[in-house]
Structure 1
Amino acid sequence: MTSSARTPLSDQDRRILALEGRTFRYVGAKERMIREEFGMSPTAYFVRLNALLDEPAALEEAPALVHRLRGRRTSAQSEGPAGSGRVA
């Protein structure tokens, strides 16, 4: 697939990647930011994030972040039912 055939990232997708690059000091701070910034539940956010990690445009936008989050996702999946399945 050529890069011209790829769907570019939306502004919201770029903001999701930016949020994933941040560090939060307090428990619940990330979930609160998700609700305030995106107007969605943390569950809906993580569903979108997981789909985003498989998009070539996301890999081009933030390669180190996407590789790190893919690694976390793979680790969580290999843990089985005890793993949360969330990437962050």
Structure 2
Amino acid sequence: MTSDGTEGGTGGAGTGALSPQDEAVLAVERRSWPRPGAKERVIRERLGISPTRYYQLLNALLDDPRALAHDPVTVNRLRRVREARRSRR
């Protein structure tokens, strides 16, 4: 929860820079993970949210132009992965 009582995340769409939580979500996605469960543990411990909430925030970030401007390599890679998964369904 942020100091203004909101949950943070992509709630500030269209208001300039990404929130610290949004930047942290993208930072987690930039890393590679050595073993199963390591990423989920980091999500819970460092971000203080559930993995389900994390993936909801991440999916919204992939459609946010501010996220693309902040980290184009990661966002474009994740967009390609998302589209490949959608096309298999």
Per the normalisation by structure 2, the TM-score is: 0.81
Flag structure 2 segments of 5+ consecutive residues without an equivalent. Answer: 1-12
Shift in Å, 1:58: 0.3
Q: What is the total number of aligned residue pairs between the two structures?
A: 76
Per the normalisation by structure 1, the TM-score is: 0.81
Q: Tell me the residue number matched to 2:81.
A: 72
Identity %: 51
1:47 and 2:56 are equivalent in the alignment? yes
Q: Tell me the residue number matched to 2:10.
A: none
Q: Tell me the residue number matched to 2:14.
A: 6
The one-letter amino acid of 1:75's match is A
Point out 4+ residue stretches in structure 1 off by more than 3 angstroms. Answer: none
Q: Summarize the alignment of residues 9-28 of structure 1 with structure 2, pairs less than 5 Å apart.
A: 9-28=18-37
